[in-house]
Amino acid sequence: MYNASDLRRGLKIQIENDPYVIIDFQFSKPGKGQSLYRCKLKNMITGAIIDRTYRSVDTFQQAALENRKMQFLYGQENEFCFMDIENYEQAYLSDDQVGEAKNYLTDNLEVEILFFEDKPIGISLPNFVNLKVTKSDPWLKGDSAAGDSKPVTLESGYVLRVPPFIEEGGKITVDTRTGEYVTRVKE
Amino acid sequence: MIQALRLFFINHGYLELETPHLIPSPAPEAHIDAIGVGDMFLHTSPELCMKRLLAAGYSRIFQITKCFRHGERGDRHLPEFTILEWYRTGIDYNALMEESQALILFVSKEMGSGGKIYYQGREIDLACPWEKITVKEAFDSYASLSLEKAIEMGRFDDAMAKEIEPNLGTKRPTFIYDYPALLSSLARLSPDNKKIAERFEIYLAGIELANGFSELNDAQEQRVRFEKELIRRRRLGKRLYKMDEKFLKSLEHMPEAAGIALGVDRLAMIFTDRDKIDGVISFTPEEV
């Protein structure tokens, strides 16, 4: 159970059977008046954003969220399948729920799947993942328009810019928080 | 800035003093919570002690001190913050409004800002006469409901924070005055209208900077008001404080006076153009 004074950006609470994360928080207290806790909240399932103002007497249920370590098995149209490493149970996420994470998913990649009341609702990736370069055009020396980087396609289908020395078939490390190239993986 | 504040009061014949931070009985106000230390409390403001000094014969006093309020943390709130309070006998809230205006203008000039300051991209003129608007007028101008309706529905604070405050002090500072009596437990009521307290607030750029009033100096009336506040605290499930009998006793001897508390951190925010109070202190509560 949380009190109003626990409210802050990033806190996850349950409202009417849905989990919400506080994305913006403002404390205000007009002269000699009561404390107002003004929150912008995002529904963690639907993505809907709502505004709520709470008072110091309000209490909140912690959202019943749990992270489970799972392995990525396969992805097909609007269905991404993951397997629990401990008990081999499988869980499925939709395209929307996976979001940009699908750019970094490779077979057997270990990820954390977020569950709300035993239903999978989201995914968090390791900060760095290694991916194979499946397509790369040769870099044309002196092509000043391209600068000192070139586009490549990774095994997940993700396209990003990398330094010119990266070759097709090689592996690179990508930062999943920024989507940017970090380094070449030495085999 | 602090030196300029001091200089103003020294120039005007005020005595600077200190009162204890550790006190047995904070003023019982429904929505201000003291931080307990053993069987004592850290003061939430030096108000009661300073009024006892007025009763003891001091006529112009000021203090710059740390105050402590439980659970207050936001872009403009710290649980530990710096307050400037000053009291003067023989005047009411009207004269105090004039003096407040003179103080802010003086500090601005001392700091080289002249009569104009720039805050978050807006120019605020300190030198022209400040806007004066009653609480009732503010509701009529800016709120989606009337003052009476807001009080009836328990929406006063909500409307004040969301609809009214952002409009106050945008081009020049604003005095908003004549608060409903029940929101002013230590202020004197207007002789013409007992539903109104002679209380005002100063707003600059939507930021509440100071709260002042004609002081209630009727000990019996003050006891009744404190008891009402204690009942409100009990209803809210909040900690109850012992009645400050020494304060009530000395109030019998307190002459007519007016006093005001000004948020020094917020004044620093305004003069240094910071949008968050964190920008004017060395360590936030989360950093210490």
Query: B244-256: per-residue pLDDT in tens?
Result: 999 999 999 999 9
Determine whether the interchain pair A33/B31 forms a contact, defined as Cβ–Cβ distance below 8 Å.
yes
Residue whose tokens read 């991209």: B121
Confidence (pLDDT) at A24: 94
Pairing mode of beta strands B174-180, B131-134: parallel
Residues A9 and A38 placed together within one structural domain of the fold = yes
* Two structure tokens written together for A59: 């209490």
The helix/strand/coil state of B22 is: strand
Residues A158 and A170 placed together within one structural domain of the fold = yes
Residues in chain B: 288
> Angle, nearest 10°, between helix axes B93-110 and B2-11?
130
CA dist., res. B258 & res. A44, Å (int): 52
CATH of the domain at A77: 2.40.50.140
Cβ density class B64-76: b for 16+ within 10 Å, e for less:
bbebbbbbbbbbb
Fold of B2-280: BirA Bifunctional Protein; domain 2 (3.30.930)
User: What does the pLDDT average to over B2-6?
Assistant: 98
Q: Which of B31, B76, B185 sits opposite A35 (nearest CB)?
A: B31
The helix/strand/coil state of A162 is: strand
What is the ipTM metric for this complex?
Answer: 0.84
User: What does the pLDDT average to over B143-166?
Assistant: 96
Torsion of CA B19, B47, A30, A6, to 10 degrees: 50
Determine whether the interchain pair B161/A27 forms a contact, defined as Cβ–Cβ distance below 8 Å.
no
Determine whether the interchain pair A33/B236 forms a contact, defined as Cβ–Cβ distance below 8 Å.
no
Q: Which residues of A touch B162 (CB under 8 A)?
A: 38, 53
Torsion of CA B259, B260, B264, B267, to 10 degrees: -130
Distances in Å between the Cα of B221 and the Cα atoms of A152, B56, B194, B216, B225 are 80, 20, 12, 8, 6
CA dist., res. B195 & res. A66, Å (int): 54
Across-strand partners of B192?
none
Residues A160 and A138 placed together within one structural domain of the fold = yes
CATH of the domain at A43: 2.30.30.30
Element (H, E) at B251: helix B245-251
Return the residue in B70, B135, B153, B157 with the most chain A beta carbons within 10 A, the one to mutate for interface testing.
B157
Confidence (pLDDT) at B128: 87
User: What does the pLDDT average to over B211-230?
Assistant: 96
Residues A117 and A136 placed together within one structural domain of the fold = no
CA dist., res. B246 & res. B241, Å (int): 14
Element (H, E) at B21: none
For residues A44 and A12, the answer to whether their CB atoms sit within 8 Å is yes
What is the side-by-side order of every strand in the sheet holding A12-15? A2-3, A59-62, A12-15, A18-28, A36-43, A49-55
Q: Which residues of A touch B32 (CB under 8 A)?
A: 32
CA B142 to the chain's CA centroid: 22
Determine whether the interchain pair A33/B73 forms a contact, defined as Cβ–Cβ distance below 8 Å.
no
Strand segments, DSSP code E, in chain A are: 2-3, 12-15, 18-28, 36-43, 49-55, 59-62, 65-76, 79-84, 90-93, 110-116, 119-124, 128-136, 150-154, 159-162, 171-175, 180-185
Q: Choose among B116, B113, B143, B112: nearest CA to B128.
A: B116
- What distance in Å separates residue B74's CA from the closest CA in chain A? 5
- Residue partners of B186: CB distance under 8 A and separation at least 6: B27, B47, B213, B215, B216, B222, B225
Confidence (pLDDT) at B113: 84
* Two structure tokens written together for B37: 């230390």
Confidence (pLDDT) at A143: 60
Domain extents in chain B: 2-280
Determine whether the interchain pair A36/B161 forms a contact, defined as Cβ–Cβ distance below 8 Å.
yes
Which residue does chain B place closest to A5, by CA atoms? B71
Query: What share of chain B in percent tops pLDDT 70?
Result: 100
Give the total number of structural domains in chain A.
3
pTM of the predicted structure, to 2 decimals: 0.82
Q: Which of A31, A34, A35 sits opposite B211 (nearest CB)?
A: A31
Query: For B36-75, what is each residue's pLDDT tens digit?
Result: 999 999 999 999 999 999 999 999 999 999 999 999 999 9
Residues A106 and A136 placed together within one structural domain of the fold = no
Residues A74 and A112 placed together within one structural domain of the fold = yes
Query: For A91-116, what is each residue's pLDDT tens digit?
Result: 999 988 898 999 999 999 999 999 99
Residues A55 and A69 placed together within one structural domain of the fold = no
Which residue does chain B place closest to A36, by CA atoms? B158
* Two structure tokens written together for B41: 């409390």
Domain that holds residue A22: 2-62
Whether residue B133 has pLDDT greater than 70:
yes
For residues B63 and B17, the answer to whether their CB atoms sit within 8 Å is yes
Residues A145 and A120 placed together within one structural domain of the fold = no
Whether residue B121 has pLDDT greater than 90:
yes
Tell me the pLDDT of chain A (187 aa) as tens digits: 999 989 999 999 999 999 999 999 999 999 889 999 999 999 999 889 999 999 988 999 999 899 999 999 999 888 999 999 999 999 999 988 898 999 999 999 999 999 998 899 999 999 999 999 999 987 666 665 556 788 999 999 999 999 989 989 999 999 999 999 999 998 7
